[in-house]
Amino acid sequence: MAFLFLGMLMPDITSRPVINIASIYVFNTAQILSRETSDERALHFSKFASVADKSQVPSRTAWLITIVPILVVDLAIMALNFGINGRLIVLTALAAMHYLRRIWEILHVHIYSTHMTHGAIGHLLINNLAVLISLIFCMRYVHPTIYDLPASRIVLAVGIITFLVGEAAVVYHHQLLADLRRGKTGEDAKKYAIPRGGLFELVACPHYLGHLISWLGIGITSQSWLGIICQLLITLAFFIPRSKRTADWYTNKFEDYPESRRQLVPYFK
């Protein structure tokens, strides 16, 4: 029964549409890895913002430009499928919660001191949209009766719980980062410090790990192995080199930065 259930979850990997989707996301993953592992081509934002590039947008505005359009697309897909595909409504609702949380943090939590290039805005917008669309599109290749199986309720619950754990981790660690600057003024408000507390004691980027867990939860609710793999490829291709770059930046900037801290996953170097 377990093998039958897993078999129904797995799309037909020999069909041309599935092969085309996989090819697109393998190419996109390679492109992201190539860019983010290059010091010259990596996206310039946050602590990696380039002061030499004058064609930049304030970070708060830039992030809103990146996230708001994706939320609009997500809500439009939800509205068009309301009453037609219940599981798609759940997936888009979770995604909407994710984007609304990000917008709330942009407006009320994050304290910005840098700018973002137009190129970084475009890349982040496309990459974030690709993660959402990959899951929604791949759901088309899930067996139409799979969501009616009793076991699917368990999968749905696991997906939602995983999503909530990831979101909670992001919110908590973003708050810790914001607290490093809260109450400071002038140049002091722009200075970076070594993050403390929570999983920051173990890794450089626990908020990135939270994002990965959150999107894994959304992927699980789709019950599409192809969708899960596609979105994980894209997010890992971005967050692994980004977390390494962040850990290296802290190590070079602060002599007392703990050597025991890993990059993204606790205890894994």
Q: What digits encode the pLDDT tens for the residues 62-82?
A: 999 999 999 999 999 999 988
Query: Residues 167-222: pLDDT tens digits?
Result: 999 999 999 999 998 877 666 667 889 999 999 999 999 999 999 999 999 999 98
In a domain, residue 215? The reply is yes
| pTM exceeds 0.85, yes or no | yes
* Cα–Cα separations (whole angstroms), residue 232 to 8, 25, 37, 200, 215: 21, 10, 18, 23, 8
In a domain, residue 6? The reply is no
In a domain, residue 93? The reply is yes
In a domain, residue 180? The reply is yes
The CA-based diameter of the chain, rounded to the nearest angstrom, is 63
Higher confidence at residue 29 or residue 92? 92
In a domain, residue 2? The reply is no
In a domain, residue 4? The reply is no
In a domain, residue 160? The reply is yes
Q: Say whether pLDDT at 97 is over 80.
A: yes
Higher confidence at residue 229 or residue 99? 99
Query: Residues 46-62: pLDDT tens digits?
Result: 666 555 555 688 999 99
In a domain, residue 163? The reply is yes
Mean pLDDT of all residues in 115-143: 83
Total domain count for the chain? Answer: 1
* Domain span holding position 35: 16-253
